[in-house]
C-alpha cells in the first residue's frame, strides 16, 4: 500500500507546524487527494505525545490550519481539544506503543527536533532494534558523534532519510550518496551552506552598512540563531560538511576540520547575547578590512566549506571566509541561497555538478521532509494526479 504512518518528533515547533500544515493540505490519508497518502498517527513534544492509531484528529480539518499554524501556544491549545495527550519519560515508550498496537515495521519517525544524545540513542534504537524508519532534519545524530554512529544509522538506505540535514530542499545529500554507492570518487566539494552567513556576505559586499548593523538587523528579522554566535562560529556549516564527507565515505569529525569563524574567536566566546551584540561593534573594522582587501583584488568573500582529496590520497577539510571571483559559481551566489559544487572523476573541469537551493526556512524544510517520505515509498504511485 502506497501510504505510510508517520510519527512526528518535535512537531509543535516552526518547522513541525509547517510540516503538519503541508501534509494536511496536500497529503493526508483523510483527504483522498493523494495517491501516496501520509497518516500522522503521533506527534511528540518534549514532555509527551498525542497518539491515535487511526490518525490524529487534526488532519481532518484543513480549514482550521490557520488557527494553530502561527504559534506554538495556539497549536498546543488546539491539540488539547482534539487528541488525547500522554506524558512520557522517554521516546522509547513510543516503540513499545507501536509494538502493542501491532504496527511494527509500519511507522516512519520524522525528526524535526534539535535533540542530541537522547535523539542519537533513539535513532540508533530504531535502526538497530526495530524495523521502523527515520526521516530526519535534525543533523545532530549524524554530525556531532563519531563516524561509527553515522554509518550505523545510515546503513539501510531506505530506512534512514537524511537529505534534509544539509540544504533541506535539495538533492545534495542524496546525490553524494549516489556517487558513493556507484563508486564514483568525490575529488572536491565547495559549498556555501549557511543562509545567514550568505546573507551577511551579500550585504557586506554592498558596503552600505557595517557588520554590526547588518547583524543587528538580521537578528531582529529572525534570520539568525537566538544567539548569533551559533551562526558566526561556523560550527553549523562544519557539521554539514561532516555529514557530506561521511556520506561519501570519509571518517571525519569536528577536530579534523580546519575551522575559522566568521569573526575572531574572542567574540565567539561571549555567552551572554546582549553582551555579545554590544561587543561585535569592535569587529566591524576587521570585517570591513577583509572585504575591502578582497575588493581591491577584484574579489569578494564567501563563507565556504571545502573538501579536497589531494593527489597523494590525503583529504583536507576547511571552513571559513574565502576570497572568490564575483563571477565564479560561489561568487555569483546571491542573498541567503545555498550552493554546493561537486567534482568527481567524471564530473570535473567544465563538467562540475552544481546545486543551488534556498537556505532553508520552514516551508522548504517541511517540503523536503514530505519529499523524503515520498522517495522512500515502495510502490510509489504516480501518473494520474490532477494539476488543480
**Distance, CA of 63 to CA of 60 (rounded, Å):** 9
Q: Which of 77, 99, 158, 272 binds its own copies (CB under 8 A)?
A: 158
Question: Do residues 143 and 239 lie in contact, with contact meaning Cβ atoms separated by under 8 Å?
Answer: yes
Q: Which three three-digit cell numbers place residue 250?
A: 570519509
Q: Which of 24, 170, 242, 287 binds its own copies (CB under 8 A)?
A: 170
Map the footprint of its own copies across residues 228-267, applying CB under 8 A.
249-250
Residue closer to its own copies by CB (options 49, 199) is 199
Cα distances (Å, whole numbers) of residue 367 to 272, 362, 370, 373: 34, 8, 5, 10
Map the footprint of its own copies across residues 83-122, applying CB under 8 A.
none
**Cα radius of gyration (the chain):** 22
**Distance, CA of 43 to CA of 41 (rounded, Å):** 7
Question: Do residues 29 and 65 lie in contact, with contact meaning Cβ atoms separated by under 8 Å?
Answer: no
Q: Which of 52, 175, 210, 216 binds its own copies (CB under 8 A)?
A: 175
Cα distances (Å, whole numbers) of residue 244 to 141, 160, 232, 241: 14, 15, 20, 5
62 counts as binding its own copies under rule CB under 8 A: no
Residue closer to its own copies by CB (options 46, 183) is 183
Map the footprint of its own copies across residues 17-46, applying CB under 8 A.
26-27, 33-36
Cα distances (Å, whole numbers) of residue 214 to 111, 156, 197, 233, 287: 32, 44, 11, 17, 12
181 counts as binding its own copies under rule CB under 8 A: yes
- Whole-number minimum distance, CB 257 to its own copies, in Å? 18
Q: Which stretch binds its own copies (CB under 8 A): 79-87, 111-119, 225-233, 343-351?
A: 343-351
Map the footprint of its own copies across residues 117-156, applying CB under 8 A.
151, 154-156
Give the interface with its own copies as residue ranges (CB under 8 A): 26-27, 33-36, 151, 154-158, 169-171, 174-175, 177-178, 180-185, 249-250, 327, 329, 332, 334-337, 346-347, 350-358, 361, 363-364, 367, 370-371, 374-375, 378-387
Amino acid at each position: 500500500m502506497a501510504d505510510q504512518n508517520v510519527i512526528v518528533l518535535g512537531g509543535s515547533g516552526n518547522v513541525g507546524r509547517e510540516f503538519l500544515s503541508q501534509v494536511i493540505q496536500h497529503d493526508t490519508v483523510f483527504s483522498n487527494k493523494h495517491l501516496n497518502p501520509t497518516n500522522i498517527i503521533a506527534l511528540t513534544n518534549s514532555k509527551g505525545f498525542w497518539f491515535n492509531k487511526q490518525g490524529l484528529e487534526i488532519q481532518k480539518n484543513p480549514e482550521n490550519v490557520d488557527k494553530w499554524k502561527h504559534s506554538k501556544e495556539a497549536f498546543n491549545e488546539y491539540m488539547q481539544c482534539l487528541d488525547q495527550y500522554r506524558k512520557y519519560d522517554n521516546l522509547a515508550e513510543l516503540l513499545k506503543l507501536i509494538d502493542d498496537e501491532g504496527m511494527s515495521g509500519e511507522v516512519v519517525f520524522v525528526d524535526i527536533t534539535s535533540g542530541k544524545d537522547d535523539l542519537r540513542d533513539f535513532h540508533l534504537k530504531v535502526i538497530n532494534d526495530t524495523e521502523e524508519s527515520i526521516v530526519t532534519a535534525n543533523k545532530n545524530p549524524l554530525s556531532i558523534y563519531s563516524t561509527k554512529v553515522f554509518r550505523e544509522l545510515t546503513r539501510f538506505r531506505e530506512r534512514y532519510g537524511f537529505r534534509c540535514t544539509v540544504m533541506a530542499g535539495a538533492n545534495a545529500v542524496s546525490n553524494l550518496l549516489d556517487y558513493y554507492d556507484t563508486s564514483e570518487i568525490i575529488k572536491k566539494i565547495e559549498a556555501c551552506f549557511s543562509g545567514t552567513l550568505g546573507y551577511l556576505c551579500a550585504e557586506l559586499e554592498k558596503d552600505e552598512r557595517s557588520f554590526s548593523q547588518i547583524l543587528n538587523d538580521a537578528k531582529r528579522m529572525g534570520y539568525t540563531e537566538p544567539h548569533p554566535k551559533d551562526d558566526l562560529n561556523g560550527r553549523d556549516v562544519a557539521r554539514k560538511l561532516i555529514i557530506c564527507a561521511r556520506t561519501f565515505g570519509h571518517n571525519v569529525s569536528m577536530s579534523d576540520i580546519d575551522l575559522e569563524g566568521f569573526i575572531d574567536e574572542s567574540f565567539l566566546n561571549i555567552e551572554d547575547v546582549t553582551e555579545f551584540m554590544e561587543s561585535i561593534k569592535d569587529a566591524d573594522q576587521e570585517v570591513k578590512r577583509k572585504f575591502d582587501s578582497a575588493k581591491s583584488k577584484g574579489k569578494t568573500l564567501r563563507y565556504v566549506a571545502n573538501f579536497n582529496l589531494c593527489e597523494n590520497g590525503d583529504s583536507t577539510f576547511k571552513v571559513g571566509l574565502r576570497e572568490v571571483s564575483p563571477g565564479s559559481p560561489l561568487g555569483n551566489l546571491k542573498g541567503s541561497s545555498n550552493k554546493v559544487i561537486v567534482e568527481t572523476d567524471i564530473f570535473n573541469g567544465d563538467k562540475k555538478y552544481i546545486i543551488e537551493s534556498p537556505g532553508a526556512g520552514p516551508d522548504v524544510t517541511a517540503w523536503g521532509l514530505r519529499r523524503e517520505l515520498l522517495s522512500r515509498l515502495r510502490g510509489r504511485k504516480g501518473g494520474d494526479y490532477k494539476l488543480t
